A = this chain, B = another copy of it.
Amino acid sequence: MERYYDVAQNCLFSKTRTVSRYVTNLYTKALKEIGVTPVQYSMLTAIQILREGNINELSSALKMDRTTINRNLKPLLRDGHVYVNESKDKRERVVSITKEGEEIYDKGYKEWQKAQEELRAEIGEENWSELNAVLDSVIKVIAEK
């Protein structure tokens, strides 16, 4: 019997996931009117920074599985936010943002800022800064692997 409560109260997976769902829903609503999901918005960010990145580079930058990058590119391609070029290395595909993608991005920036502010207000200044700090620290560990 006790073990149920052990898991329910102490599982870091559940906690992380619960907060992730909550945060995701908040950003999803904020970005909805411009027609991208927050995951797509973060992918556009990485694509802009890389300018011309292949799938492995995006995978590495976003710390997201290679095959997930592949799938997540599809709605962005379909909606004309990004395009893909071949490379000299015929195995490789190079992803770039389109003009329309940039426009969407700029529009979304305000909504993203609003989402950040809304979340900060919801959880409070102290949680906000502590959450940022500890997540940065954990991501650093992840990046070193």
- Measured CB to CB, the residues of A under 8 A from B are 3-5, 7-8, 10-24, 26-27, 38-39, 41-42, 45-46, 48-49, 62-64, 106, 109, 112, 115-116, 119, 122-124, 127-128, 130-139, 141-142
Complex: how many Å from CA A16 to CA B127? Answer: 13
Name which of A46, A106, A130 has the most chain B CB atoms within 10 A of its CB.
A130
> Does B123 lie within 8 Å of A22, measured CB to CB?
no
Complex: how many Å from CA A82 to CA B124? Answer: 39
Ordered by A's residue number, 9 sampled pairs between the chains whose C-beta atoms are within 8 Å are A7-B42, A7-B109, A8-B42, A12-B128, A13-B23, A15-B131, A17-B42, A19-B20, A127-B138
State the majority secondary structure of interface residues on A. helix
Name which of A12, A21, A24, A124 has the most chain B CB atoms within 10 A of its CB.
A12
What residues on B are CB-neighbors of A20 within 8 Å?
Answer: 16-17, 19-20
What residues on B are CB-neighbors of A131 within 8 Å?
Answer: 12, 15-16, 134-135, 138
* Closest 4 A/B residue pairs (Cβ): A20-B20, A15-B135, A13-B27, A7-B45
